[in-house]
C-alpha cells in the first residue's frame, strides 16, 4: 500500500516513517508537516493510506479529512484519545493510534487497513470526475476554499494578487493570471487583456474594444479581439 505521513512534529514523522519502512505491506511515498502540503500532493497523486495527525496548527487533521474529495484509508495518530468517537463518523478512517505509538499496535492498524482496502473498490465514477473538473481549490489564509468554476464570471489581476469574482463572492488570492488560466477550461474562459480573464458565457454586450460582464466593463486588447470574435457564436 502506498502511504504518506502528515504530522507537524518532526519526531512523530520520523517514528511513523520508520515504522512504515519496516512494514512489508507499506511503501512510504512522502511525508508532510502540514495538511495544506498534503492536500496539494493528494490532488496530483494517489495513495492507499494516510497516517494523519489530528492536532496541527491552522489546518488540522479534521480539516484535511473534510477537504478530501476521494479519500483513501486514514489511520489517525494523536496524543489525544478524545477525538475517537468523532473520527469514526467517517467510514474511510480505519483505525486510531494514540501516541506514543507501539510497533505491535501499529502493525495491527496496518493489517486492518489492508483487509478493509481489499474490499474497497478503487477508481472514480465518470460523474465524480466531471464534478471535480468543475471545481477549483484556492488557498486563502492557509485554508483551502472550493469554488465552482462555472460560477466564476471574471478574474482580475492587480499587482501580486488576482481577484476571482463569482455571483456571490469575490476572492483575493496571491497568484497570477497565467497560473489560474491553466486550471480553467479553455473552451469556457478567455484572457482578453493582460489583467483580465472572462467567462465567455457571461458576456452581456461587446462594443469596440470592451466587453460588458455583469455590470463591469472590461477592456479587450487589440491582439485578443480576433480570438474573442472567433470564439463567439455569431449570427
- The model's pTM is 0.54
DSSP string covering the chain, please? -EEEEE-S-HHHHHHHHHHHHT-TT-EEEEEESSHHHHHHHHTT---SEEEEES--SSS-HHHHHHH-SS--EEEEEES-GGGHHHHTTSTTEEEEEESSPPHHHHHHHHHHHHHHHHTSPPS--HHHHHHHHTEEEEEETTEEEEEEGGGEEEEEEETTEEEEEESS-EEEESS-HHHHHTTS-TTTEEEEETTEEEEGGGEEEEETTEEEETTEEEE--TTTHHHHHHHS---
Q: What whole-number distance in Å separates Cα of residue 120 and Cα of residue 187?
A: 36
Q: What whole-number distance in Å separates Cα of residue 209 and Cα of residue 224?
A: 10
Burial class (CB in 10 A: 0-12, 13-18, 19+), 184: middle
pLDDT, residue 44, reads: 83
pLDDT, residue 133, reads: 64
Within 8 A by CB and 6+ apart from 55, the residues are 8, 61, 78, 79, 80
Sequential pLDDT tens for the chain (235 residues): 999 999 999 999 999 999 999 998 899 999 999 888 898 888 888 899 999 998 888 777 878 887 877 789 999 998 876 655 555 567 788 888 988 899 999 999 999 898 887 655 444 444 444 445 678 888 777 677 888 899 999 999 999 999 999 988 999 998 899 989 988 998 999 999 999 999 999 999 998 899 999 989 999 999 999 999 988 877 5
CB contact at 8 A, 83 and 54: yes
For cell 478524545, what's the residue?
A: 82
Nearest of 159, 187, 190 to residue 175 by alpha carbon: 159
Domains and CATH numbers, the chain: 2-118 (3.40.50.2300), 149-231 (2.40.50.1020)
Q: How many CB atoms lie within 10 A of CB 3?
A: 25
Amino acid at each position: 500500500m502506498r502511504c504518506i505521513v502528515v504530522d507537524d512534529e518532526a519526531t512523530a514523522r520520523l517514528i511513523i516513517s520508520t515504522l512504515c519502512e519496516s512494514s512489508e505491506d507499506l511503501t512510504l511515498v512522502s511525508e508532510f508537516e502540514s495538511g495544506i502540503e498534503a492536500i496539494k500532493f493528494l490532488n496530483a497523486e494517489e495513495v492507499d493510506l494516510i497516517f494523519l495527525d489530528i492536532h496541527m496548527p491552522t489546518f488540522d487533521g479534521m480539516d484535511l479529512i473534510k477537504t478530501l474529495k476521494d479519500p483513501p484509508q486514514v489511520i489517525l495518530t494523536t496524543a489525544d484519545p478524545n477525538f475517537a468517537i468523532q473520527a469514526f463518523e467517517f467510514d474511510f478512517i480505519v483505525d486510531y493510534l494514540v501516541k506514543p505509538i507501539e510497533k505491535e499496535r501499529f502493525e495491527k492498524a496496518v493489517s486492518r487497513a489492508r483487509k478493509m482496502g481489499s474490499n474497497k473498490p478503487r477508481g472514480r465514477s465518470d460523474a465524480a470526475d466531471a464534478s471535480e473538473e468543475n471545481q477549483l481549490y484556492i488557498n486563502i489564509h492557509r485554508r483551502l476554499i472550493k469554488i465552482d468554476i462555472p460560477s466564476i464570471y471574471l478574474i482580475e489581476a492587480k499587482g501580486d494578487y488576482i481577484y476571482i469574482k463569482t455571483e456571490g463572492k469575490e476572492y483575493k488570492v496571491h497568484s497570477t493570471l497565467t497560473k489560474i488560466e491553466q486550471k480553467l477550461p479553455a473552451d469556457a474562459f478567455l484572457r482578453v487583456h493582460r489583467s483580465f480573464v472572462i467567462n465567455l458565457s457571461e458576456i452581456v454586450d461587446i462594443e469596440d474594444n470592451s466587453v460588458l460582464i455583469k455590470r463591469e466593463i472590461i477592456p479587450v486588447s487589440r491582439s485578443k479581439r480576433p480570438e474573442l470574435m472567433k470564439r463567439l457564436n455569431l449570427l
